[in-house]
């Protein structure tokens, strides 16, 4: 089990899912009213999370935030598998969990 909570666009909540459950949620998203997941660690750390947005037939937008608005980044990925790998490594707090991707800073209003 991962020490995370997962919220979905359709208001489902999942507490401490296993890796396969998280993977299933990532692979499932894409339909109307089921396009994103927000993942937070347990215990909750304010403004620290990863999230993914996906519309069926489109790419995955994976984001993470590590503090204030100047610490919010995104990357666009073609497939669910790297999204699952990054989210799982992030949840496990593995060193270098986001390495190898071209993260872009998000400029939020």
pLDDT in tens, 5-15: 999 999 999 99
Domain range for 45? 4-105
Place of tokens 């799982």: 88
Model pTM greater than 0.75?
A: yes
Per-residue pLDDT band for 109 (boundaries 50, 70, 90) equals low
How many domains would you assign to the chain? 1
Res 107: pLDDT: 81
> What pLDDT digit, counting tens, does each position of 7-52 carry?
999 999 999 999 999 999 999 999 999 999 999 999 999 999 999 9
Average pLDDT, the chain: 96
CA distance 46 to 49: 8
């Amino acid at each position: 089990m991962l020490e995370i909570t997962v919220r979905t666009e359709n208001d489902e909540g999942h507490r401490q899912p296993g890796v396969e459950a998280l993977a299933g949620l990532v692979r499932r998203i894409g339909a109307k009213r089921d396009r994103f997941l927000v993942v937070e660690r347990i215990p909750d750390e304010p403004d620290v999370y990863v999230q993914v947005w996906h519309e069926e037939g489109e790419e995955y937008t994976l984001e993470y935030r590590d503090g204030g608005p100047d610490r919010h980044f995104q990357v666009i990925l073609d497939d669910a598998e790297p999204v699952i790998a990054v989210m799982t490594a992030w949840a496990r707090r593995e060193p270098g969990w986001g390495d190898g991707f071209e993260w872009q800073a998000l400029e939020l209003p």
